Amino acid sequence: MSFDFPTFLVAATFLTGGIWLLDALLWAPKRRRLAAAAASGSGESAQGAAMGYKEPVLVEYARSFFPVILIVLLLRSFVVEPFRIPSGSMMPTLLVGDFILVNKFSYGLRLPVLNSKFVELGEPERGDVIVFRFPRDESVDYIKRVIALPGDQVYYRDKTIYVNGEPLGQIPLGDYIDDNGQPTGLIEVVEAVGDDLEHEILINPRTGDFPRSCGVLARGPVTVPEDTYFVMGDNRDNSNDGRCWGFVPEENLVGKAFAIWMSWDGNRDGFPIAFGRIGNVIH
């Protein structure tokens, strides 16, 4: 069972905030009254008597942790959230071990846990690298590139994507060499998703367009349904993407990936941190 961190944050915020609020409204006034009564009866100062009626440890911890947890919840829910890349499906754009930042307000503000949108701010565009809840298992987050928008007709043949009948332009760069200087058998290609965006993809010339279980586009062009998006991985022949399971519903969007803040791969030769990738903007 995967750990539901958003639910934990919401629960922890309500728990610590609730304890702090109850103490402020109910228990703290009672402690102050007892301290004042003790001071008047014994003749000692009110400050000295109050020392005998210190706030409970539980309240002290709740008061200390509530602001921190609340800030983390707000930042993670509405501003930015970190993710780690677990697979090579977005190579060469993103590598295994990259830690990325995701803009949580690019496509509107959503309530944590409920994931219901309450503020409209924008919509995905072709070429955006997005994080979304996997439609077949919403406890799992996926990251892919938006290829087609609602209403677009999308088609894939001979390693080439066609959107509304037009092929996306491709310029071969040659054999792809990994970070350890080893040949991979893949070809690196520059692909133009739109007039203003080009990005690199990887193609395996020894495989077909569709793995055996991926038949969404195998029988011809498909029109992207309303309020959904068609996505693919940049590592075209090593990606479980829209060719296999269809479309991403709008309500499954998490945010737009925009930067790499750390890159750590224990399988790298030498030092595991790829300093040259830190701070890279994701295109």
Active-site positions? Answer: 89, 144
Decide: 20 and 59 in contact? Cβ < 8 Å: yes
Q: How far apart are CA 121 and CA 111, in angstroms?
A: 14
Pick the closest to residue 184 from 91, 86, 60, 54 (CA basis). 91
CA distances from 155 to 14, 165, 166, 168, 280 (A): 48, 8, 9, 11, 31
Which token pair is 189?
A: 């290609």
**At CB < 8 A and 24+ separation, what contacts does 199-203 make?**
199/93, 199/127, 199/145, 199/234, 199/283, 200/92, 200/93, 200/173, 200/234, 201/92, 201/234, 201/235, 201/236, 202/91, 202/92, 202/176, 202/234, 202/235, 202/236, 202/237, 202/238, 203/159, 203/236, 203/237
Here the tokens at position 113 are 């846990």
Query: What residues contact residue 57 under an 8 Å CB cut-off, 6+ apart?
Result: none
Q: Cα–Cα distance between 6 and 11 in angstroms, integer? A: 9
Residue 139 and residue 158: Cα distance in Å, rounded? Answer: 33
